Chain A
Amino acid sequence: MIKSYVWGVIEVAKRIMIVDDEQEVCDAVKAVLELEGFEVLTALSGPESLKKLQKEKADLVLIDFFMPKMSGRELCERIRKDPKLKGLRVAFLTAARFGDVGMEKLRKLKALDYIQKPFDNDDLVRRVRRMVSK
Chain B
Amino acid sequence: MTDKLVEYLLDLIADKEGAKPILDRVERYKKLPPIEKEAESFSLYLELEKFIVTHKLPAIKGSYTAESLRNEIKGTFGVKEFSPRLNALFGISGAERVIFSEIILEALIKQLLTIFKPSRIQSLIDEITRGQPIEGIEVKGDKVDFSASERKIFSVSKPWFGLISINYRNLISALYWRARDELGEEKANWILQDAHRSVQEKYGYLPWAQLVIGVMPEDFLTKERELEVLTSCYKELANAIGTVLARGEIRGLRKNVSQSLTSVLRGVRLNPDGSFDFSALPKNLQAIKEDGAKKLTESFSRLISVMYRSARDGLGEETAGRILEDAYKSVQEKYGALPISSQVLQAIPEGVLEREKLEFRAKEELERGVKRMDMLRGEFASVSAHELRSPLVPIITYSELLLKDKKHKLAPEQKKKLEVILSSAHRERELVDDIMDITKLEAGAMRFDMQKVQLADVIKEAVVGQRAAAEAKGIWIKAKVQRGLPPVHGDPKRLTQVITNLIRNANRFTDKGGITVSVSSGDGQAIVEVQDTGTGIAEEDLGKLFRKFSQVGPRREGGTGLGLVICKAIVEAHGGKIWVKSKLGQGSTFSFSLPIRKSGKG
Contact = CB atoms under 8 A, between A and B. Distances in A.
A25 B385 contact: no
B439 to A, nearest CB: 12
Nearest to B428: A118
A118 B425 contact: yes
Contacts of A96: 382, 385-386
Interface string A66-108: 1000000000000000000000000000111101100000000
A32 B382 contact: no
B393 A29 contact: yes
B389 A31 contact: no
Contacts of B396: 118-121
Interface string B366-405: 0000000000001001110111111111111110110010
Contact of A31 (B382, B388, B397, B493): B397
A31 B386 contact: no
B378 A100 contact: yes
B140 interface: no
Interface string B416-446: 0000000001000100010010000000000
Interface in A94-134: 94-97, 99-100, 117-121
A91 to B, nearest CB: 16
A27 interface: yes
Interface in A46-66: 65-66
A32 B381 CA distance: 29
B397 A32 contact: yes
A46 B395 CA distance: 25
B31 interface: no
B560 to A, nearest CB: 16
Contacts of A24: 391, 393-394
B393 A25 contact: yes
A96 B382 CA distance: 6
A10 interface: no
Interface residues of B, number: 27
A28 interface: yes
B447 interface: yes
Nearest to B389: A95
A95 B381 CA distance: 12
Given A97-B382, A100-B378, A121-B401, A28 B394 contact: yes
B496 to A, nearest CB: 13
B400 to A, nearest CB: 5
Contact of A25 (B394, B404, B429, B447): B394
A1 interface: no
A101 to B, nearest CB: 8
A94 B386 contact: yes
Contacts of B398: 28, 31
A36 to B, nearest CB: 11
A35 B429 CA distance: 25
Given A95-B389, A96-B382, A99-B493, A32 B394 contact: no
A65 B386 CA distance: 9
Nearest to A124: B397
B509 to A, nearest CB: 25
B386 A66 contact: yes
Contact of A118 (B387, B397, B436): B397
B381, B391, B393, B400 — most chain A CB neighbours (10 Å): B393
Nearest to B395: A118
A11 interface: no
Nearest to B405: A35
A63 to B, nearest CB: 13
Contacts of A121: 396-397, 400-401, 404
A97 B494 CA distance: 13
A125 to B, nearest CB: 11
A29 B394 CA distance: 8
Which 6 residue pairs are nearest across A and B when measured between Cβ atoms?
A95-B389, A28-B397, A118-B392, A95-B386, A28-B394, A100-B382
9 contacts: A22-B393, A25-B390, A29-B393, A31-B401, A95-B386, A95-B388, A118-B392, A118-B397, A119-B397
Interface of A: 22, 24-25, 27-29, 31-32, 35, 65-66, 94-97, 99-100, 117-121
Interface of B: 378, 381-383, 385-398, 400-401, 404, 425, 429, 433, 436, 447, 493
Given A22-B393, A99-B447, 11 more contacts: A28-B394, A29-B397, A31-B401, A66-B383, A95-B385, A96-B385, A117-B393, A118-B396, A119-B397, A120-B400, A121-B397
